Amino acid sequence: MIWHPDKNPINKSEAEAKFKRISEAYDVLSDPQKRQIYDLYGEEALKSGQIPPPQPSSSASSSSRVHNHHFTIASTTTTIRRRFGSTRVMRRIFMLRFSDPRAMAELAVEEAVEPGKFRTLEEILTVEIKPGWKKGTKITFPEKGNQEPGIIPADVVFVVDEKPHALYKRDGNDLVVNQEITLLEALTGKTIDLTTLDGRNLVIPLADIVKPGAEVVVPNEGMPISKEAGRKGNLRVKFDVKYPSRLTAEQKSDLKRVLGGTS
């Protein structure tokens, strides 16, 4: 015991006081009845022997074990792009009250924390974002939440959210992108160049006539499917055909001739 008076001749008075507190803590720990009184009513009731009358029970019991803490991962720059796989480091800071003699006894040898005092503890939790995770996915760290005397610590639950992407929208396991093309391109063809979420260049040739509202499906270019390794959803390209606001008489005549109308 580092606070034994015989080992601290220079600060003997301080050592005696701390050693006394440590001894009291272990005395409480070794006596189940004293420990129960201390847990329920505190140090004063234990010393005075006066136990307060029981309080009416509340419908909202404080003994509930699980208190979910929701942290929006997207608020820390998790985007659809990062859903292809990344690691996020989260920091939790919590208050631990040393009114439980067991907690006090564990720290008293080194720090002699007084009962009823608070100490702020910090812990880093690492969340590995799995490819394909969807909005609402929960990551649970058991017994890493609030701590209260005599109660199993609550869980910490991180809830995944998504930040909107500038180009792509997610629909289940599919990715959807809107492309605007001219009437000429819709009739004569065009090549669409896209940059995928993992940085690749994707070329989509349009050989057929594209009707307004048409959709081209590119297989296996969507979001990773989290429960099926190696598989992805589809990329769906939706087209909006932009019509000219006006045509000259000559252009109208040419269109009629080309499309089989009368000139």
SS in 3 state form for 93-105? EEEEECCCHHHHH
Best CA proximity match to 235, nearest among 190, 185, 200: 200
pLDDT at 67: 38
CA end-to-end span of the chain, whole Å? Answer: 107
pLDDT tens digits for range 138-152: 888 888 877 766 778
Q: Find out whether 15 and 22 touch, Cβ atoms under 8 Å.
A: no
Cβ contacts of 2-10, under 8 Å, gap ≥ 24 = 2/109, 2/110, 3/109, 3/112
Q: Where is average pLDDT lowest: 4-18, 170-184, 246-260?
A: 4-18
Instruction: Copy the structure tokens of residue 167.
Output: 């180009």
The CATH number of 5-46+65-159 is 2.60.260.20
Residue 19 to residue 108: CA distance in whole angstroms: 9
CATH 2.60.260.20 segments of the chain: 5-46+65-159, 169-259
Taking only Cα atoms into account, the Rg of the chain, rounded to an integer number of angstroms, comes to: 34
- Helix H or strand E segment including 215: strand 215-218
Q: Find out whether 186 and 178 touch, Cβ atoms under 8 Å.
A: no
Measured from the Cβ of residue 232, the count of other Cβ atoms closer than 10 Å reads 19
What pTM was estimated for this model as a whole? 0.55
Q: Find out whether 215 and 238 touch, Cβ atoms under 8 Å.
A: yes
Question: What are the angstrom distances between the C-alpha of 234 and each of 172, 180, 210, 239, 255?
Answer: 10, 20, 19, 16, 37
Residue 134 to residue 226: CA distance in whole angstroms: 9
pLDDT beyond 80 at 23 = no
DSSP 147: -
Q: Residue 61 — pLDDT band, cuts 50, 70, 90?
A: very low
**What are the residues whose beta carbons fall under 8 Å from the beta carbon of 1, sequence distance 6 or more?**
7, 19, 22, 109
pLDDT tens digits for range 209-243: 999 989 999 999 999 998 888 899 999 999 999 99
Measured from the Cβ of residue 183, the count of other Cβ atoms closer than 10 Å reads 14
The CATH number of 169-259 is 2.60.260.20
Q: Is 195 helix (H, G, I), strand (E, B) or coil?
A: strand
Q: Find out whether 137 and 128 touch, Cβ atoms under 8 Å.
A: no
Q: Find out whether 112 and 3 touch, Cβ atoms under 8 Å.
A: yes
Q: Is 223 helix (H, G, I), strand (E, B) or coil?
A: coil
